[in-house]
């Protein structure tokens, strides 16, 4: 049988890794796919640059459009990232009847609805396993492995760069900027690293996970997103004293009123497995009604871990090339005409526990006032620490953990506490989740 012909767009970290894996494991991959897989053409911004892979036997071009219109090519692998040129190229590839494999989370999160609709009309596949959590086959696990479940919630460490920064801050007391620079050098960070530290990259990935978990359209603009730039060593240390770790989580939860879709730093009990996922590693905890909690762990970024997912998608596409398009696994796990219109909740309507830190004057009655404000809004305190002032002018630091509460009520309580004469500056607030099997 003729080999399946591949065109790659982008020969950077992931493109180079993909070419290396396809070459090194060619025989094993062909045994799995049932056909030889051959990369015939690749586009790169500068074809004279030195790379991590050999491009022997691959026609190189600086014009990506040549690849998407090359009649010889069956599958276009988009690894250039971004959502402008990549969007045009993917839409063109689909219009030209080519299957697409992409690692581009921004593209799928923002334009996936239109891309999948075009692909369905044309009878081609768009596979995107590498878009979420690098090498962890989380899309396949949720879409296929958990297809018998009603998914109740999922929570994931889905940005390796952010996790690396938080881990190094905690373990080695390193500076935020210094660790970020190292993540950039190692090729983990996004082209614009604010996407990593402000939670945008995680929000892209959460959008995709929520769509396939709950059968809802991709709704990136509705994810509530908070980054890790305000996390201090002080909070990391207090969290540890309370038996918690701070992780940057993407959380999607089904409630009676709709879907919670949020990315934010989160205190998690240190005994949870996911609290011990460190460095650039990713992990996604998924709770299904039948299976209970399941945890998926692995490298969330890097050349070959991401290539592992890209190549798995290529194999998947090759295996189903001859199948009837109507009988393929739907792009978003649920049949396109069966997507649900469940609303995405605003943060005001989210219920979660909180870690609070504030500076208070060291005099009688201060704590009583704070607890009165909390009590009036139905907020129950689970733990409380007061650190004595360092000198007579510095205030006392008060740290508390609350029981789960409606965010709207917590916002009102914080505003009232900040108005007290005895409170200095603003209240630091970090959400907290138990992530138990309930």
CA distance 216 to 384: 40
- What x/- string results for residues 216 through 255 when contact with ligand HSE is judged by CB under 6 A? ----------------------------------------
Strand 37-43 relative to strand 4-9, pairing = parallel
User: Which part of the chain contacts ligand HSE (CB under 6 A), choosing from 184-192, 217-225, 287-295, 339-347?
Assistant: 184-192
**283 is a contact residue toward ligand HSE (CB under 6 A):** no
**152 is a contact residue toward ligand HSE (CB under 6 A):** no
User: Which part of the chain contacts ligand HSE (CB under 6 A), choosing from 145-153, 156-164, 322-330, 385-393?
Assistant: 156-164
CA dihedral 184, 188, 190, 196 (to 10 degrees): -100
The site for ligand HSE, by CB under 6 A, has a size of 11
User: Which part of the chain contacts ligand HSE (CB under 6 A), choosing from 2-10, 43-51, 120-128, 158-166?
Assistant: 158-166
**106 is a contact residue toward ligand HSE (CB under 6 A):** no
Contact indicator for 427, 360 with CB cutoff of 8 Å: no
DSSP state of 416: H
Residues 186-215 interacting with ligand HSE (rule: CB under 6 A) = 188-190, 196, 201
**70 is a contact residue toward ligand HSE (CB under 6 A):** no
**308 is a contact residue toward ligand HSE (CB under 6 A):** no
**Which residues touch 49 (CB under 8 Å, ≥6 apart)?**
none
**281 is a contact residue toward ligand HSE (CB under 6 A):** no
Report residue 2: phi and psi, to 5°.
-60, 140
User: Which part of the chain contacts ligand HSE (CB under 6 A), choosing from 153-161, 311-319, 349-357, 383-391?
Assistant: 153-161
**What are the distances in angstroms from CA 222 to CA 110, 167, 249, 263?**
11, 28, 16, 11
Question: What SS3 state is found at 261?
Answer: strand
**129 is a contact residue toward ligand HSE (CB under 6 A):** no
Contact indicator for 100, 90 with CB cutoff of 8 Å: yes
Which residues form the interface with ligand HSE (CB under 6 A)? 134, 159-161, 188-190, 196, 201, 300-301
């Amino acid at each position: 049988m003729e080999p399946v012909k591949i065109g790659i767009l982008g020969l950077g970290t992931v493109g180079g890794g993909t070419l290396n894996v396809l070459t090194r494991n060619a025989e094993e991959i062909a045994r799995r796919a049932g056909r030889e897989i051959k990369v015939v053409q690749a586009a790169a911004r500068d074809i004279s640059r030195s790379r991590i892979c050999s491009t022997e036997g691959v026609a190189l071009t600086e014009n990506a459009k040549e690849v998407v219109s090359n009649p010889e090519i069956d599958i276009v692998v988009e690894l250039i990232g971004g959502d402008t040129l990549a969007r045009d190229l993917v839409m063109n590839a689909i219009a030209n009847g080519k299957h697409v494999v992409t690692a581009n989370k921004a593209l799928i999160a923002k334009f996936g609805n239109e891309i999948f609709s075009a692909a369905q009309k044309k009878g081609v596949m768009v596979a995107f396993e590498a878009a979420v959590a690098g090498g962890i086959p989380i899309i396949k696990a949720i879409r296929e492995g958990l297809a018998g479940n009603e998914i109740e919630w999922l929570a994931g460490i889905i940005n390796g760069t952010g996790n690396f920064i938080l881990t190094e801050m905690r373990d080695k007391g390193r500076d935020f900027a210094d660790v970020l620079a190292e993540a950039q050098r190692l090729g983990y960070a996004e082209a614009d690293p604010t996407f990593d530290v402000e939670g945008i990259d995680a929000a892209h990935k959460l959008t995709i996970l929520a769509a396939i978990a709950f059968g809802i359209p991709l709704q990136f603009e509705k994810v509530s997103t908070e980054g890790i730039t305000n996390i201090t060593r002080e909070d990391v240390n207090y969290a540890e004293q309370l038996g918690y770790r701070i992780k940057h989580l993407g959380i999607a939860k089904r409630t009676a009123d709709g879907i919670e879709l949020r990315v934010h730093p989160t205190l998690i009990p240190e005994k949870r497995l996911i609290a011990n996922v460190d460095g650039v590693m990713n992990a996604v905890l998924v709770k299904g009604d039948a299976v209970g909690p399941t945890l998926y762990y692995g490298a969330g970024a890097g050349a070959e871990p991401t290539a592992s997912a890209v190549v798995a998608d290529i194999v998947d596409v090759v295996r189903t090339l001859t199948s009837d398009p109507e009988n393929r696994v739907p792009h978003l796990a649920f049949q396109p005409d069966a997507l649900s219109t469940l609303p995405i909740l605003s943060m005001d309507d989210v219920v979660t526990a909180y870690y609070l830190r504030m500076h208070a004057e060291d005099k009688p009655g201060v704590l009583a006032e704070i607890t009165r404000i909390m009590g009036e809004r139905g907020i129950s305190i689970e733990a409380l620490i007061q650190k004595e002032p360092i000198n007579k002018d510095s205030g006392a630091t008060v740290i508390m953990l609350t029981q789960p509460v409606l965010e709207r009520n917590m916002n009102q309580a914080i505003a009232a506490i900040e108005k007290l004469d005895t409170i200095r500056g603003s209240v630091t607030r970090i959400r907290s989740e138990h992530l138990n099997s309930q």
